[in-house]
């Protein structure tokens, strides 16, 4: 949402496809049954949580800098950015460093195959269906939040909204970071 508002439609769509790629990665691992193997190695989840927490703190820091910065916001929703691929990598990293994503995918695959007759293709159909929904939802966000009306409203509420986003990322970072550190200390 914030990338679409500040950097434009193409940047928002590019970030969305990074998130979707990360989701498909975790979904495919779960469909292959590799998710349960990862769960047995809790140190992998602890490491992902710590990395994900640091990544969330980085986002929070960047948003705090935007709030403190005295420059006024310049938004051009139709602007072509020089480095669109960085938004793809941001979206990919955002989803791949979320250790809860594999757990959600494992649960989705389990629930989706629980009452059906055994079928080799069902987990992959679930991943495909969820990917299609993800594409429509995340691309819908990018398109909706990059329109002129939303961008003009965003300019009016920029500082409070950016502060809210920073607080949200701090909360997400603490959530991801706190538990693995306590486990490692014990």
CA distance 37 to 42: 10
Distance between CA atoms of 94 and 90, rounded to whole angstroms? Answer: 6
- Measured between alpha carbons, how far is 142 from 100 in angstroms, rounded to an integer? 23
* CA-based torsion, 138, 162, 83, 56: positive or negative: negative
Sign of CA dihedral 82, 25, 4, 171: negative
Q: Other C-beta atoms within 10 Å of 162: how many?
A: 22
Q: What does each C-alpha distance from 21 to 15, 25, 81, 106 come to in angstroms?
A: 10, 6, 21, 17
Cβ proximity of 92 and 15 under 8 Å: no
Residue 119 backbone dihedrals phi, psi, to 5 degrees: -145, 125
Residue ranges covered by each domain of the chain: 2-185
In this prediction, residue 142 carries a pLDDT of 93
**What local confidence, expressed as pLDDT, does residue 82 receive?**
64
Cβ contacts of 170 within 8 Å, gap of 6 or more: 56, 57, 60
Both structure tokens of 73: 């916001």
| Torsional class of 33: left (φ above 0), alpha (ψ -120 to 50), beta (otherwise) | left
Tens-binned pLDDT, residue by residue, of the chain (186 aa): 888 888 888 999 999 999 999 999 999 988 888 766 766 776 777 777 788 888 889 989 999 998 888 666 666 555 566 667 899 999 999 898 887 787 788 888 878 877 766 677 888 899 999 999 999 999 999 999 988 899 888 888 888 988 999 999 999 888 887 766 655 555
At residue 181, the pLDDT reads 61
pTM: 0.77
């Amino acid at each position: 949402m914030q990338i679409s508002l500040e950097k434009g439609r193409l940047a928002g769509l590019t970030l969305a496809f990074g998130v979707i790629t990360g989701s498909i990665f975790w979904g495919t691992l779960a469909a292959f049954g590799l998710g349960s193997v990862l769960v047995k190695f809790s140190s992998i989840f602890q490491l992902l949580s710590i990395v994900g927490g640091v990544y969330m703190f980085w986002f929070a820091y960047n948003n705090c800098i935007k709030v403190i910065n005295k420059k006024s916001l310049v938004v051009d929703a139709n602007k072509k950015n020089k480095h669109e691929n960085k938004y793809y990598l941001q979206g990919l990293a955002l989803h791949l460093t979320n250790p809860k994503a594999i757990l959600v995918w494992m649960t989705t695959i389990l629930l989706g195959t629980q009452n059906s007759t055994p079928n080799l293709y069902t987990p992959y159909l679930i991943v495909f269906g969820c990917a299609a929904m993800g594409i429509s939802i995340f691309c819908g966000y990018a398109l909706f939040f990059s329109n002129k009306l939303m961008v003009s409203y965003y300019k009016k509420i920029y500082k409070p909204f950016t502060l809210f986003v920073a607080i949200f990322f701090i909360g997400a970072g603490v959530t991801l970071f706190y538990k693995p550190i306590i486990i490692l200390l014990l």
